[in-house]
Amino acid sequence: MAQTLTTLPPGGAGTILQVELPEESRSRLMELGLVPGTVVELLRFAPLGDPLEIHFRGCHLTLRRHEADHILVDPMPAAGSASAGA
C-alpha cells in the first residue's frame, strides 16, 4: 500500500514507488538514486522536526518534509537495514 516517505516510522523502510515533484527536483532526486524500486530507510528527523535523514544505496541524504511528502513508498513489513537494489 502506498504511503508517503514521511509517514514511515523512524527506522522504518520502504520501496520507492514514485516521486511526485516538479520535473527538475524529481530528476535530481532520481539521479541521486531515488528511482522507483529503491529501498529507502528513514533514519531520523532533525531535532526541530525537519529535515529528515534517509539511507539508501549505501549513502545518507537529508530531505525536507516538503519534498519527502511527495515521495511515495511501499512500506516494508519488518525493520531491516536498507540495502541497495533497483
- The residues, ordered by sequence, that sit 6+ positions from 82 with a Cβ below 8 Å of its Cβ are 13, 39, 40, 41, 55, 56
By CB under 8 A, tell whether 85 contacts another protein. Answer: yes
CB-CB neighbours of 34 under 10 Å = 21
Q: Which of residues 25-84 bind another protein (CB under 8 A)?
A: 25-33, 35-36, 38, 43-44, 46-51, 53, 57-64, 66-67, 81, 83-84
Q: What's the distance, CA 31 to chain centroid?
A: 14
Minimal CA–CA distance to 31: which of 2, 70, 57?
57
At closest approach, how far in Å is the CB of 7 from another protein?
Answer: 19
The residue among 2 and 59 lying less far from another protein, judged by its C-beta, is 59
Give me the residues that bind another protein (CB under 8 A), please: 22-33, 35-36, 38, 43-44, 46-51, 53, 57-64, 66-67, 81, 83-86
